[in-house]
Structure 1
Amino acid sequence: MCGIVGILSTTKKDVCLYIYDALTIIQHRGQDAAGITTASKGRFCMRKGNGLVKNVFRTHDMENLVGDMGIGHVRYPTAGSSSEAEAQPFYVNSPYGIAFAHNGNLTNAEALSKEIFEQDLRHLNTNSDSEVLLNILASEIAEEQKHRINENDIFKAVTKLHNRVRGAYAAIGMIPGYGIFGFRDPHGIRPLILGERTTKNGTKYMLTSESVGLTALGFKITRDIKPGEAIVIDRNGKVHSHQCSENSILSPCIFEFVYFARPDSIIDNISVYKSRLRMGEKLAEKIKLKWSIEDIDVVMPVPDTSRTAALQLANELDLKYREGFIKNRYIARTFIMPGQKQRKKSVRQKLSAIELEFKDKNVLLVDDSIVRGTTSQEIVQMARAAGAKKVFFASAAPPVRYPNVYGIDMASKNEFVAHNKTTDEVCKTIGADKLIYQNLEDLIWSVQQGNPDILSFDCSCFDGNYLTKDIDTPYLDNLEALRSDKAKQNDQNNVSSELIYNDAD
């Protein structure tokens, strides 16, 4: 999962500070690396590196990022490595010069890499599928062999790209001297939204992953980019759009609403906040049917994502709601920590318990989901250590049993605590007295109520139904070999070895 931003201004003023602020607002979508590329007088200005936005960019970097258009990216790795070379935006010099940022994951990246080398005669410098996507686009644009590009050339290239590429992708690109563009995969799995900010001096246009990136900076929401659609904003501020896929069906990723997106975002006309309220409502209904509510003294969220669902659940059950855990906001999201050992350590660093809220009480802990079980197990132990008599656990999402192949770091089914386990077995593993999961149909209802026109969602990590219809057992086995915690640790060791070797030079 990553976050992307593209801004074009007709005021002829530098846009780098707006991009910086927007990336900071969507920092929750990636904490591994950040980058900004701007265009000025036909040339690119670029700065990118590993770390948080605030650590990658210094004053002198911002002074050098001149230009009235630019794109930005925050990353956490799902495919490829965590090396600085794979930080985005990427760039190709032919044709025209294209800077590019991507959120998602290509499911046929390996075959495309071979095609790019043998058929398109282009060179890849990293293992990132984002570079693959960029080179496919560049190759298709180059087919026109024109000295000057226009919006129709981009639309033709994106149409051909859709025919070659499989997977999830929301992408933003920039061509110096011409403008910025964005497009979304035919299923609309990953989000992309357009907004604008008009003053007496002109208009700024922004494409970004979440609406909060717009509204927090004073931009007005225009609309979501449709699945399979491409948007081009030329340097004069004219917005062009075209549907580039004939078989587009909006099926957004439901895990965006469960965990990844900020609650103050609206994705495909669905309020993330309200969808989480409904998740708490539905989970409360199930608890009423399955459990004796009298056994529960207090409801507590696992901060922060589950807070909305937990509050609504407590209201529906007419139970006390308390904040039993205090979060250290300077610790990164544990879900996207690279490795089980690091996640486990980070849970203790991130949360501390308020003992007086736990002592001699039967506590119902509510979390947004349970993936590897690391956080859940540690939190249950912390609750018991703080004096809880009994610890019940509720997940606002169903059991995660299947790998996610569309850009969320859940590749290895053997790392999922619910893989080949019943609810009772998971309960025993995390050390809780009782455990309850949301039903998938209730989760879908909770999100779909925000936009009844959406008839399907990507729920693959819960039901194993892959929208692109190209996922089989060999693919999943290969994915696990590349993206499991063990594989990432080996990759990290290789990167560290390279750094040591280079330092020795």
Structure 2
Amino acid sequence: MSEQIKHECGIAFIRLLKPLSYYQEKYGTALYGLNKLYLLMEKQHNRGQDGAGIATIKLDMKPGSRYISRYRSMAQNAVADIFGYVQNKFVGIQEETPELMKDTEFLKQNVSFIGEVLLGHLRYGTHGKNSIENCHPFLRQNNWMTRNLVIAGNFNMTNVDELLEQLYELGQHPKEKADTVTVLEKIGHFLDDENQLLFDEYKKDGLSNVEITQKISNNLNVANILRRSAKSWDGGYTMSGIIGNGDAFVMRDPAGIRPAFYYVDDEVVVAASERPAIQTAFKVQINSVKEIKPGHALIIKKDGTVSEEMFREPLEKKACSFERIYFSRGSDADIYKERKKLGELLCPQVLKTVNYDLKNTVFSFIPNTAEVSFYGMVDGLHKYITDVQKETLLQRKEVLDDAALDDLLSMRPRVEKLAIKDVKLRTFITADADRGEMVAHVYDTTYGVIKNHTDTLVAVDDSIVRGTTLKQSIIKIIDRLHPKKIIIVSSAPQIRYPDCYGIDMSKMGQFVAFDAAIQLLKERGQEHVIEAVYQKCKASLELPKEEIVNHVKEIYASFTPQEISDQIAKIITPADTVAEVEVIYQTLENLHEACPHHRGDWYFSGDYPTPGGNKVVNKAFVNWKEGNNQRAY
């Protein structure tokens, strides 16, 4: 993506199923769990660079002993900072009494973060303040071990106001309006409730409080707590939690919007937001890593029992397709194939646009994240060339002379690396004009490979959100190469609607496709459509969210996708550009063909997987129309 947008966070969870001494003996270190947690987090570094945090819980600690440890960081390299902090806990022991580094019981009793249950989180702050208080894991503390709760997740809720109201009705007074707080307190409330129910039940049996505490620890119904907590959640989420006694869970929303994977053997239970992180950290094959089913929770009891239990009735699966296009690391076997397929499926459109003139067309890609799609396009071009060669040889072999045959067999796509992202330039000059000039040089280019005013340049991007980087930097730079035509190719369809499940795309005015549609409506004297949609959206906000439909679709209804693309090309073309600029977008049909198991496409289609999404898109339009620069949920 040529312009950064912030998006889904990442989680990393580990439960050690054996005593710490087992890992010391087999792997030569009592820090086995911490080392693996570090690997899981580093291998998901792409999922969060605004901050990170970890929490660990020690099992079966005596009263008065610290058993929960947490540390969060907003350092530039937060993961390294966190594990440097943890490593410092062992420096004195390593230097003064190194033999104690093998004494797992000593380490567990005396050094924080040595525990059997570990949870890590990487944060991208889509809307919340960038402060240490906003970094996960969140901690809800209590003197009762089974009432302590640690939570970390990758989630956004669309109905925070409704959830807050429910907390008020329960008698709570949350300290701020945020989905993280509402989720923590909602689960915490029903955890308290479960504790109280069990306490009352065991008290009737005449058990002592100490005996009751142990019974509660053994018999907490985690699935029931989650069912009661998540009953009215509307959003996309993968969430992991640890209860103070060591019970733990990883839960996934009913539509499977957010990703969640896990691996279990006789030594560990592992969960993460991305499959390759687990494969790499634990050296396991792809078929050993499972996906948590939508509406289900992976539950790990203190005794090591593992189950996957339903807490909400699953909806039609709408796993986020942006995960496949851009967000997740391309090292996942399936994602790599899907991204290549996205590029390959664009070939017919691209070839038609360049009039099948491969001699005078140069193919390249813009940001590194588009590289795999670009490879797929090149594969498609080679297939096209092979078909042309085969057909020509079959149909015209009698009339081909040596020169024509040489020309035919030498056909190949002209592939070059033209746009290079430079080191981060500091825009230290405050004047807007000067700052704009600096921004224009964020990318550099390769000179000498384009024939002046003859070649067409095809540049693949994985997606186009705002179009600002294209206009302010990339097109200006590649226009210096003097191509006849510049074609920007997006491996994703047109982004037309806000996301409300984790991506930082919540305001209508952010989307160049929306801007294009509004401009077209005004140019064609259809401003009444804008006003009518505004009135419908505003009226819909008074309805229950289950009754709301997406009225913003009407903004685009008058135009073909090509008309929108042509207008986008005008918008992103700087005034002094010499080359003609054209934009090609992926189609929804091709997206679904390339990513058949990840059909969540609401930012392209406007088809939201939860009722709250329709309310959010209408509210986002109302905010835009009223000049209210706030997110819609």
Fold conserved (TM > 0.5)?
Answer: yes
Match of 1:438 among 586, 598, 604: 586
Which residue of structure 2 aligns with residue 172 of structure 1?
240
**Conserved in 2, the CA contact under 8 Å of 1:355 and 1:387?**
no
Amino acid at match of 1:111: E
User: Residue in 1 aligned with 2:395?
Assistant: none
Query: When you count helix as a share of all residues, which structure comes out higher?
Result: 2
2:463 counterpart of 1:399: no
User: Contact 1:344–1:374 (CA<8 Å) still a contact in 2?
Assistant: no
Seen in structure 2, the aligned counterparts of structure 1 residues 487 and 287 have a Cα distance that, compared at 3 Å, is same
Q: Which residue of 2 aligns with 1:493?
A: none
TM-fit CA distance, 1:17 = 2.7
The one of 242, 248, 263 equivalent to 2:309 is 242
Change (3 A) 1:473 1:237: closer
Aligned to 2:157: 106
| 2:179 aligned residue (106, 122, 129) | 129
Pick from 446, 454, 472 the counterpart of residue 354 of structure 1: 446
Q: Distance in 2 between matches of 1:174 and 1:261?
A: 25
Displacement of 1:322 = 2.1
The structural deviation recorded for 1:87 is 0.8
Deviation at 1:442, TM superposition (A): 0.7
SS across alignment from 1:363 = strand
- Which of 584, 591, 600 matches 1:458? 600
SS at match of 2:465: coil
Work out the CA distance in 1 between the residues paired with 2:604 and 2:296: 27
Q: Choose the corresponding residue for 2:363, options 275, 296, 299.
A: 299
Corresponding position of 1:264: 331
Superposed displacement of residue 150, structure 1: 5.2
CA contact (8 A) 1:411 1:480 kept: no
1:76 aligns with 2:128: no
In the alignment, structure 1 residue 65 sits paired with structure 2 residue 102 = no
Aligned length: 463
- State the percentage of identical aligned residues: 26
After superposition, the Cα gap between the structure-2 partners of 1:58 and 1:170, relative to the gap in structure 1 and judged at 3 Å, is closer
- Counterpart in the other structure of 1:254: 321
CA apart distance, 1:397: 0.8
- The whole-number CA distance in structure 1 between the counterparts of 2:293 and 2:339 is 23
The one-letter code matched in structure 2 to 1:119 is E
Which segments of 5 or more consecutive residues in structure 2 lack a partner in the other structure? 1-7, 21-29, 90-111, 199-212, 383-412, 426-431, 517-563, 574-579
Q: How does 1:8-407 map to 2 (within 5 A)?
A: 8-11=15-18, 12=20, 13-14=30-31, 15-40=33-58, 41=61, 43-50=67-74, 51-54=76-79, 56-57=81-82, 59-62=84-87, 63=89, 64-94=112-142, 96-116=147-167, 118-144=168-194, 145=196, 146=198, 147=213, 148-149=216-217, 153-196=221-264, 203-220=267-284, 221-265=288-332, 271-294=334-357, 296-318=360-382, 319-327=413-421, 351-358=443-450, 360=452, 361-377=455-471, 378-407=473-502
Aligned-CA RMSD value: 3.0
Q: Which residue of 2 aligns with 1:7?
A: 14
Bigger share in strand: 1
* 1:277–1:312 CA contact under 8 A, matched in 2: yes
In the other structure, the counterpart of 1:477 is 619
Q: Distance in 1 between matches of 2:422 and 2:48?
A: 18
1:413 partnered with 2:481: no
AA aligned opposite 2:446: I
Residue 394 of structure 1: CA displacement?
Answer: 0.4
Give secondary structure in 2 for the equivalent of 1:242. Answer: strand
Q: Is the 8 A contact 2:419 2:474 kept in 1?
A: no
- Superposed CA deviations along residues 211-234 of structure 1, whole A, max 9, x for unmatched, are 121012124343100000011123
Question: Do the aligned partners of 1:8 and 1:235 also contact (CA within 8 Å) in 2?
Answer: no
- Does the C-alpha gap of structure 1 residues 349 and 252 become closer, same or farther in structure 2, counting only changes over 3 Å? farther
- Match of 1:66, SS state, is coil
1:500 alignment counterpart: none
**Structure 1 contact 38–65 (Cα < 8 Å) conserved:** yes
1:286 aligned counterpart, secondary structure: helix
**CA-to-aligned-CA distance 1:406-459 (integer Å, 9 cap, x gap):** 1111011111111142211111122262111111111011101xxxxx4x7221
- Structure 1 residue 467 corresponds to structure 2 residue 531: no
In the TM superposition, what whole-angstrom CA distance separates every residue of 1:455-482 from its partner, at most 9, and x where no partner exists?
x722110011111123345765369969
- SS of the residue 1:240 aligns to: strand
Please tell me whether Structure 1 or Structure 2 has the larger radius of gyration of its CA atoms: 2
Q: Offset of 1:265 from its aligned partner?
A: 2.2
Q: Which range is displaced more, 118-127 or 300-309?
A: 118-127
Code of the residue aligned with 2:242 in structure 1: it is M
SS of residue in 1 equivalent to 2:612: coil
Secondary structure of residue in 1 paired with 2:351: helix
Tell me how far 1:97 sits from its aligned partner: 0.8
Write the distance in 1 (CA, Å) between the matches of 2:35 and 2:477: 41
- Alpha-carbon distance in 2 for matches of 1:52, 1:386: 37
Contact preservation (8 Å) 1:458, 1:467: yes
Cα distance in 2, alignment partners of residues 346 and 304 from structure 1 = 21
Change (3 A) 1:126 1:89: farther
Specify the SS of the correspondent of 1:433: strand
- Report how far residue 60 of structure 1 moved: 3.1
Letter in 1 for 2:346: L
Render the CA deviation track for 1:2-61: whole Å, top value 9, x for unaligned: 111111113424423322221111111111111111112462111112243345425233
Q: Distance in 1 between matches of 2:133 and 2:39?
A: 23
The answer to whether the 8 Å contact 1:423/1:436 transfers is: yes
Residues 278-300 of structure 1 deviation map (CA, whole Å, 9 limit, x = unaligned): 10111112223444131652211
Taking structure 2 as the reference length, the TM-score comes to 0.68
Query: Is the CA contact (8 Å cut-off) linking 1:189 and 1:251 kept in structure 2?
Result: yes
